[in-house]
């Protein structure tokens, strides 16, 4: 049995193919929401009570836009037994790195309102939006608080604050804070830039303890090397035994395609809850599996040297465990790759320690130069893939 194709079919197929190609080219240029900032945890509340001649406090939190954007969306919340009142939220272009700004602020609105009331221990919080052309570079998320307290978190870059509302007093003197003040915990932007988001998950070494402001932690330096957004999900003193919820958060980061996971030094040095490479594998493998299932690539970082710390020097078993875990990381095949931070930072003459110029003085956290070496090492691996 035979049949004849309609003469119009080849033309129809051509039109379908052309339509698919056109659709693909259009979608490649479409705007996408991408996450550029996320703070996993707040530490506590900090005073924002105004003086007699100034109502409340203005806080400026550094935000780096890795590319141009059309819209911005900011999530705020209060995690503590302190209600928070903010009268306005805005994005202001930074002028230098000491809290100074230039140009008119871009106001963010909570619906039609300029401010928001955050109930105590209300995890959902509120969302503010703005639509404006935003250029790449350093900005400040500026918040005016009229409440007595606002939240803060540990951060290597810190923030800035001044009494009163800077709109009412343009000459307000901003002072640097050693912590990151403010209740913002997530920032997404709408952009046409195709660069995918990279997520760095870890403890204080990922967070950037020991680095100097602004932007000298390894995720920030890595972002500059790769010219792409990097979301720093490092938290001071975090341990891998508490990282079971990591996949749920990581897979919610918009635009993310890759994850660098570096944890374990606290479990070994202080907590003692990881007693073997098998323990480490039992914690990390489910995280790798869950994150890869969502479509992201996963890179494991080896645990950096801690020799020089009395805790390690006086307990040889801890160094032996670090070496055992690193050996497993290097040999495992579950992750898409390994970033050997240990090899990059260690002193060839004394491999249990970081090179002197790579440590900040406490023998566990890198210096700016050490974080730069970490960023270069990670960039080389990612580029090779």
Residues 78-124 have pLDDT tens digits of 989 989 999 999 999 999 878 999 999 999 999 999 999 999 988 78
Mean pLDDT, range 237-242, rounded to an integer = 92
Buried b (16+ CB within 10 A) or exposed e, 264-298: bbbbbbeeeebeebebbbebbeebbebbbeeebbb
Distances from the Cα of 264 to the Cα of 48, 154, 246, 335, angstroms: 36, 19, 14, 16
Which pLDDT belongs to residue 11?
44
Does the pLDDT of residue 16 top 90, yes or no? no
Does the pLDDT of residue 25 top 60, yes or no? no
Average pLDDT score over the chain: 91
Which pLDDT belongs to residue 122?
80
Reported as a pLDDT band with limits 50, 70 and 90, residue 270 is confident
Reported as a pLDDT band with limits 50, 70 and 90, residue 15 is very low
Which pLDDT belongs to residue 305?
98
Q: Is 226 helix (H, G, I), strand (E, B) or coil?
A: helix
Mean pLDDT, range 224-251, rounded to an integer = 95
Does the pLDDT of residue 135 top 80, yes or no? yes
Q: Is 154 helix (H, G, I), strand (E, B) or coil?
A: coil
Whether pTM exceeds 0.95: no
Which pLDDT belongs to residue 271?
65
283-308 residue pLDDT tens: 999 999 999 999 999 999 999 999 99
Nearest CA to 61 out of 49, 74, 71, 70 is that of 74
Q: Of 15-24, 233-242, 370-379, which gets the smallest average pLDDT? A: 15-24
Which pLDDT belongs to residue 4?
41
Does the pLDDT of residue 37 top 80, yes or no? yes
Does the pLDDT of residue 138 top 60, yes or no? yes
Which pLDDT belongs to residue 263?
97
User: Cα(289)–Cα(281) distance, rounded to whole angstroms?
Assistant: 12
Half-sphere exposure of 344 (CA within 13 A, CB side): 23
Nearest CA to 142 out of 253, 57, 50 is that of 57
Reported as a pLDDT band with limits 50, 70 and 90, residue 257 is very high
Which pLDDT belongs to residue 9?
42
Which pLDDT belongs to residue 24?
34
Does the pLDDT of residue 334 top 70, yes or no? yes
User: Cα(181)–Cα(81) distance, rounded to whole angstroms?
Assistant: 17
Reported as a pLDDT band with limits 50, 70 and 90, residue 19 is very low
Does the pLDDT of residue 155 top 50, yes or no? yes
């Amino acid at each position: 049995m035979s049949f004849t194709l309609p003469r119009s079919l080849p033309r129809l197929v051509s039109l379908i193919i052309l339509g698919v190609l056109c659709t693909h080219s259009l979608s490649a240029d479409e705007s996408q929401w991408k996450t550029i900032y996320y703070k996993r945890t707040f530490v506590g509340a900090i005073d924002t009570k105004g003086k007699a001649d100034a109502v409340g406090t203005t806080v400026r939190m550094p935000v780096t836009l890795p590319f141009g954007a059309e819209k911005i969306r900011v999530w705020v919340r209060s995690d503590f037994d302190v209600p928070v009142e903010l009268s306005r939220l805005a994005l202001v272009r930074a002028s230098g790195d000491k809290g100074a700004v230039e140009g008119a602020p871009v106001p963010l609105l909570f619906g039609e309102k300029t401010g928001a009331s955050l109930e105590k221990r209300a995890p959902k919080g509120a969302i503010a939006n703005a639509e404006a052309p935003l250029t790449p570079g350093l900005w400040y998320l500026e918040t005016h608080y009229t409440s007595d307290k606002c939240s803060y978190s540990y951060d290597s870059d810190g923030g800035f604050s001044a009494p009163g509302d800077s709109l009412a007093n343009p000459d307000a003197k901003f002072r640097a804070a050693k912590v990151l003040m403010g209740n913002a915990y997530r920032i997404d932007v709408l952009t046409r830039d195709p660069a995918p988001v990279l997520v760095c998950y870890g403890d204080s070494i990922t967070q950037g303890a020991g680095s100097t402001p602004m932007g000298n932690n390894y995720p920030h330096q890595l972002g500059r090397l790769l010219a792409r957004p990097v979301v720093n999900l490092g938290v001071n003193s975090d341990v891998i035994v508490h990282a079971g919820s990591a996949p749920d958060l990581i897979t919610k980061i918009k635009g993310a395609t890759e994850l660098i996971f570096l944890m374990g030094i606290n479990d070994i040095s202080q907590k003692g809850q990881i007693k073997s490479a098998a323990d480490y594998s039992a914690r990390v493998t489910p995280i790798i599996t869950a994150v890869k299932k969502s479509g992201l690539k996963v890179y494991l970082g080896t645990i950096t040297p801690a020799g020089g710390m009395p805790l390690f020097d006086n307990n040889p078993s801890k160094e032996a465990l670090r070496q055992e875990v690193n050996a497993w990381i290097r040999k495992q095949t579950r992750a898409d790759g390994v970033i050997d931070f240990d090899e990059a930072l260690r002193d060839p003459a004394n491999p249990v320690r970081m090179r002197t110029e790579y440590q900040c003085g406490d023998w566990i956290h890198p210096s700016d130069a050490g974080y730069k070496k970490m960023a270069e090492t990670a960039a080389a691996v990612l580029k090779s893939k």
